[in-house]
Chain A
Amino acid sequence: MSTQELMAELARRIPAERLLQRPAQLAPYESDALTAFRSRPLAVVLAETQEDVIQTVRLCHRYSVPFVARGSGTSLSGGSLPVPDGILIALNKLNRILRIDIDTRVAVVEPGVVNLDVSRAVAAQGLYYAPDPSSQLICTIGGNVAFNSGGAHCLKYGMTANHVLGIKAVLPDGEVVQLGGNSLESVGPDLTGFFVGSEGLFGIALEITLRLLPKPERYRTVLAAYSSLAAAGNAVAQVVASGLLPGAMEIMDALAIEAAEAAVHAGYPRDAAALLIVELEGEEIQVEAEFAHLLQVIESSGPDEVRVAVDDADRARIWKGRKSAFSAVGRLSPDYIVQDGVVPRSRLGEALATIERLSRKHELRVANVFHAGDGNLHPLILYDGRVAGELERAEVLAGEIIAMCIELGGSITGEHGVGMEKRQHMPAMFAETDLEVMATLRRGLDPAELANRGKMFPGSEAPALHSRGPHPLEQQGIISRE
């Protein structure tokens, strides 16, 4: 058996306390942040050095055993879901910041470094790392690279791909390569760009060279409450049309506001149907001039209430609420599906109206919290896995929302990636030839499809959707939720 030989080889190279094999050690790794899927790996390798990763990948290649890389396990698309009988390579302990160069504004980090820790490490020098996924306090740079993660402030600064200059990676066959370098300009094809967003199919990043930016001198954060989602959507269109380019423009609907308020007491207007958060940032003089302009635009968009963050603590609370919103929805519903579709900004109002209609049609609540500035929707479909048929209805509703995004000229994913969750929607987005070209590229690097097998492409073998159903103790009547 090749897996037995692999395990024996791994045991020779990885100390027992970092080669997890017992059920109690594997169960906590069965899911990432998309718990609708679960799958138990053969073993987990807790990598502490780049050599650990390279050796593990080489062994997996030699014995033709699939492997999956995992950082903090915060993927919302099931991107780091283990493959049954495969090896899970945990990278969260491979977390050294190797080099910081303040003059050239570059940081070289290992994949397990937490996103926010990069900014913390250079804060005293007045720099920061711009991409800010909502999970930035725990998600890792390796995962950000694999999924080309976005965040609220990517409206102005672009996604992860715009901030990665170079990557040292181990390819699925164990070869170690250096892509890109230290600067944005390079000769030849943009191989770094090719790797970023490849969802772990092209191997594992070992060292990532990141671009750092000077911290904005001034922030102005404005909250505007509206009596309808459409009105908030229209306000976004008006801000864009005015020529302003805010750092971030976010919308939350009533359900999302309720959840976030319960979680962090952000001080949002509670009875609003929709809340728009607009943040200007940059040099003092420019921000103040834009701020006056922005207030005029917002005032003319018919808000019920406008509030401006009074200090840094207030601003931090506003963002904490927004960034906690997904998880906070766990307070409102036992289960939910997070969607990540994109629509052209100009059709935002239309898209939101359709989602509302679909929500009524399927009799499931949908909470909306999204990056309005770049048309990246995050409808959260609330369901109860214990009620027969609700998960299936939620899946249908999710599919219809995705179909709408494609029809409006958008995309099935803005920043969470395809992963497990949106594999089946790939044929709706891409023609067969497109998918074939992607598959050819992938097989060029990984003929046996060992790296993150089963993700991104439809029809590939992977674990089935998992429904929890009532808790066994509930079934026996021992406990209840009332």
Chain B
Amino acid sequence: MAHAVETCVHCGFCLATCPTYKVLGEEMDSPRGRIILMKEVLEGAMPTADALPYVDRCLGCMACVTACPSGVEYGHLLTPFRAMAERERSRPPINRAARTLVKETLPYPDRFRLAFQGGRVGRWLRGALPGELGAMLDMLPDALPSAEPLPEVYPAQGPPRARVALLAGCVQQVLAPQINWTTLRVLARNGVETIIPRGQGCCGSLSLHIGEAGQARELARKNLAAFPDDVDAIITNAAGCGSGMHEYGLLFAGEPDRAVAEAFSHRVRDITLFLDELGLIAPPALPAPLTVAYHDACHLAHAQRITAPPRRLLAMIPNLTIVEVPEGELCCGSAGTYNLEQPELARQIGERKARNIISVAPQAVVTGNIGCMNQIKVHLEMLEQPLPIWHTVEVLDLAYTGA
């Protein structure tokens, strides 16, 4: 932690990419400001409670880490700080209830489906519900898509080129099950056999994000046990999960199974990185020209430094044009549970993203994370300019199937 504090030279290069600084314009709500505040708390010069409102407002998007010339590992300061602060803080009952709801439902698909039904009923009470619970309801779609359960193995087409295991995820497989199915089809089309290990579960990122490291480790251990060693890669198709699994080493610091967790994290690959490294089989042309805006999910661009591979894959589709979004390095405001915990700021940041997207007039938005997909969809609709939002693999699938 101290290293992250000491490496900061306070040059201010991070300010330009920090969503909360862009919206609020205050040093306390900037990366270098938060570093000062966390340092004051760690040094005992400031009560934790004084600094927390500003640290809480951090999206954890890590755009500052990408922007930082001095190499400050801001995340290595933020995550332990949040875990430490969580032990000290007392939360109002309604906030505790909302967090418990998040913690106990989102990571578990079956419970989430049930909670969704409850949420439908809860909409009748929307007006009477306080901030966080109301915001949670607002994010729910009108209906859940239905989908076939995933098979245990999905065979490769043509000569086999690789064998991988897929993390099915939690929230995403409930809200957008087609992403896993298109992932399987696109992998198969590229000669990759995919296994979907039974017994796997949520990667733990959501829990870690809200400072529940214990629950995160418990969930992660399930995956350490469920995934086999004899695959070429463990594939994630949600940027948040990929980034969380890359941090298993950090999550298990001081634990007996740290080495296992670290080795596991090295085998995790985002679907776009994997396909780019494997070499994508050239897709046929789209039936009609299509212009899409590619949105960099923070957990892909900043946490995993993956920006070129998805663009390279999309660029291989004839008839597809990719346009860049102004202020592309800015988070969309989804950031895990952020739109539940800081609804007003998430709204401002989301609206800014939506306006930036609209400014380049795309026909659709493509990205690599379920949270961003949901947030961008909601904010484009609020501005009454709805657009299709696709995962990168959905566009590849679209090209292969010629739909």
Contacts and interface: CB of A to CB of B under 8 A. Distances in A.
A327 B30 contact: no
B51 A472 contact: no
A331 B37 contact: no
Interface in B238-277: none
Contacts of A260: 69
A209 B70 CA distance: 34
Contact of B25 (A28, A46, A74, A137): A46
Interface string B31-64: 0111011001011101000110110000000000
Interface residues of B, number: 38
Interface string A16-47: 00001011110111111101000000000010
A214 interface: no
Contacts of B40: 24, 27
A163 to B, nearest CB: 21
Contacts of B37: 24, 27-28
Given A473-B2, A473-B43, A23 B69 contact: no
Interface string A43-81: 000100000000000000000000000001110000000
B16 interface: yes
A329 B9 CA distance: 9
B26 interface: yes
A138 B12 contact: yes
Given A92-B25, A262-B71, A481-B3, A24 B11 contact: no
Nearest to B49: A24
A93 interface: yes
Interface string B1-25: 1110111111111011000000001
Contact of A33 (B1, B12, B51): B12
Contacts of A30: 36
Contacts of B43: 471-473
B1 A138 contact: no
Interface residues of A, number: 46
B68 interface: yes
A329 B12 CA distance: 14
B28 interface: yes
Nearest to A31: B10
Contacts of A325: 69
A451 interface: no
Interface string B297-311: 000000000000000
A479 interface: yes
Contacts of A263: 69-71
A126 interface: no
A326 B9 CA distance: 9
A406 to B, nearest CB: 27
A24 B46 contact: yes
A153 B5 CA distance: 33
B132 interface: no
A330 interface: yes
A288 to B, nearest CB: 30
A94 to B, nearest CB: 10
25 contacts: A20-B26, A20-B28, A24-B37, A24-B50, A25-B28, A27-B40, A29-B27, A35-B9, A72-B15, A73-B27, A74-B11, A74-B12, A135-B11, A135-B12, A137-B13, A137-B16, A324-B69, A327-B9, A327-B13, A327-B68, A327-B69, A329-B70, A330-B69, A331-B70, A336-B9
CB-CB nearest 6 A-B residue pairs: A330-B70, A28-B33, A327-B69, A324-B69, A28-B27, A330-B9
Given A24-B40, A263-B69, 14 more contacts: A24-B54, A28-B30, A33-B11, A138-B12, A138-B15, A263-B70, A264-B69, A324-B13, A326-B69, A327-B70, A334-B6, A334-B7, A336-B9, A481-B2
